[in-house]
Amino acid sequence: MSPTEITFVVIAAALLLLAAVIAAMETVVSRLNLVRALRLDEEQAPGARSLVWVLEHRATVLDALLVVTVLGRATLVAIAALLGWTWTDGVLGAVVAVALVVVLSLVLGEVVPRTVALRYLETTGLRLARATQLLSTLAFPLTRGVVALGRVFVPRRHEVSGPHASDDELRALDVDDDEQDDELEPEERAMIRSIFELADTIVREIMVPRPDMVMVAEDASLDEVIGVVLDRGFSRLPVHDAQDPDVVVGVVYAKDLLGRVATGARGGRWGDLVRPPTYVPETKRVDDLLRDLQAAAVHLAVVVDEYGEIVGSVTIEDILEEIVGEIVDEHDQEEPLVEPKEDGSLRIDARLGVDDLNEILGTELPEEGWDTVGGLVFGTLGRVPVVGESLELDGIEITVDHVQGRRVGKVTVRRSTRSRDAAGSSEDGEGRVRAAPSEG
């Protein structure tokens, strides 16, 4: 073969390989769920970020792959016909060469790569995502031109942006093409990530701690219990032993109490309305807890530690708030967990999670051994703090503003004004923490 013929053979082989890669990626884009890709991104799998981009721009990517596939196949057939004609000096040779290329293209360029991609869907997607993202970006001008040309021949009543329309376009055909966007909204992405994080969140992180639990004594009058229900707006209340507030004997439902009132027995007893409590360990994963509560048709559970002591309570609403954010009703009168102050500092409710504070400040405050900012202060100092006491961590100064009994209530958080050198001279053995009472 002449050098020119060898070059054409190499180009034909490369085009056949390109067809196989495109077929594999088309299978991934069509079959892989975006939620699975986001989970891979959460696990920091190599190529996962590009895979998420590819699936979020599914219509654009499929349009690009279609255009490149058609151009590649047309070029491959033309090269095959040219080589067949050259080698046999006749039309028959060209026809045979084209037929051979078609068979090879179907088998090696379609069936085999699509089958392999289906068998190893996530692996294939991770390996080819970056190349697909690059290819889609480079081919975008050509793709847009081809799609625009194709739309000239499509009646206006079919108002979609191209052959691979997004789900939003299919649901709303009267929306203009330029306004179409099949990317996830930030709120949707945050919700999906929150669902993923349920598997890594334990009950202790979302429960209402024992000091904040609203309970009623089992020897309280019916009027007193109803008064608590009306005042706090809870539909379920834990009931504790008359002699020991740390012993939960059951849960009473507001609907059962109102039913008793409706019968005219307002001054009567209500102990028979108490239902058995559901106990869960504080280390239970939240996603498992949600499934268990759904299966048992229970909305409130009492949380216990490894010694069986009551440490808090958790409801299905607490779990849902981890996914969709704070759910506020007409009975909620809670202060915000974070309040900006005029001097640029933040007044923080000590119940705020350390991970949430890290996200707000862009810091890496330690989270091991505690879940809340109050726990961070308590654990770092190793004792109950006093009002006005300060500690410095990772360039952040935390000042205790309010203490409730043995609990930290409110703190003020601000960026430390000390230089790193000055801070380094007063650090402890770990080189990160310094605690000292404020003056006065």
Place of tokens 């009994």: 405
Domain boundary among 324, 351, 369: 324
In a domain, 377, yes or no: yes
> What CATH number does the domain containing 276 carry?
3.10.580.10
C-alpha to C-alpha distance for 151 and 160, rounded to whole angstroms: 9
Q: Which residues contact 173 (CB under 8 A, 6 or more apart)?
A: 157, 158, 159, 160
CA dihedral over 287, 289, 295, 300, signed as positive or negative: negative
C-alpha to C-alpha distance for 11 and 77, rounded to whole angstroms: 12
Q: What is the pLDDT of residues 358-372, one digit of tens each?
A: 888 888 888 776 778
In a domain, 198, yes or no: no
Same domain for 406 and 316:
no
Q: Which domain holds residue 84?
A: 3-184
Q: What are phi and psi of 209, to 5 degrees?
A: -65, 155
The angle that helices 3-31 and 91-106 make with each other, rounded to 10 degrees, is: 30
Same domain for 46 and 159:
yes
Same domain for 228 and 174:
no
Half-sphere exposure of 74 (CA within 13 A, CB side): 6
User: DSSP letters along 214-275, please?
Assistant: --EETTS-HHHHHHHHHHH--SEEEEE-SS-TT-EEEEEEHHHHHHHHHTT-TTS--GGGPB
Same domain for 366 and 395:
yes
> What CATH number does the domain containing 391 carry?
3.30.465.10
Same domain for 228 and 168:
no
C-alpha to C-alpha distance for 38 and 34, rounded to whole angstroms: 6
In a domain, 215, yes or no: yes
Same domain for 286 and 314:
yes
In a domain, 197, yes or no: no
Domain boundary among 324, 357, 372: 324
Same domain for 233 and 176:
no
Same domain for 214 and 170:
no
Nearest to 390 by CA among 423, 351, 356, 420: 423
The tens place of each residue's pLDDT in the chain, 440 residues long, gives 678 878 878 888 888 888 888 889 988 888 887 777 877 887 788 888 888 888 888 888 888 888 888 888 888 888 888 887 777 777 787 888 888 888 888 888 888 988 998 888 888 989 998 998 898 888 888 888 887 777 777 665 545 555 555 544 444 444 344 344 445 566 666 677 677 667 778 888 888 888 888 999 988 888 888 888 888 888 899 999 988 888 899 999 988 888 888 776 655 678 888 999 999 999 888 888 988 998 888 999 999 988 888 999 999 988 888 777 666 555 555 567 788 888 888 888 888 888 888 888 888 888 776 778 888 888 888 787 888 888 888 788 888 888 876 778 888 888 876 534 444 444 443 434 444 444 43
Same domain for 370 and 243:
no
Same domain for 350 and 317:
no
In a domain, 254, yes or no: yes
Same domain for 277 and 174:
no
C-alpha to C-alpha distance for 26 and 114, rounded to whole angstroms: 8
Domain boundary among 268, 291, 324: 324
Residue type, 182: D
Same domain for 113 and 237:
no
Quote the pLDDT of residue 251: 93
In a domain, 320, yes or no: yes
In a domain, 116, yes or no: yes
Q: What angle do CA 139, 42, 181 make, to 5 degrees?
A: 40
In a domain, 332, yes or no: no
Buried b (16+ CB within 10 A) or exposed e, 173-206: eeeeeeebebebeeeeeeebeebbbbeebbbbbb
C-alpha to C-alpha distance for 194 and 291, rounded to whole angstroms: 16
Domain tally for the chain?
A: 3
Q: Which two tokens stand for residue 59?
A: 């219509």
CA distances, 138 to each of 22, 143, 349 (Å):
15, 9, 50
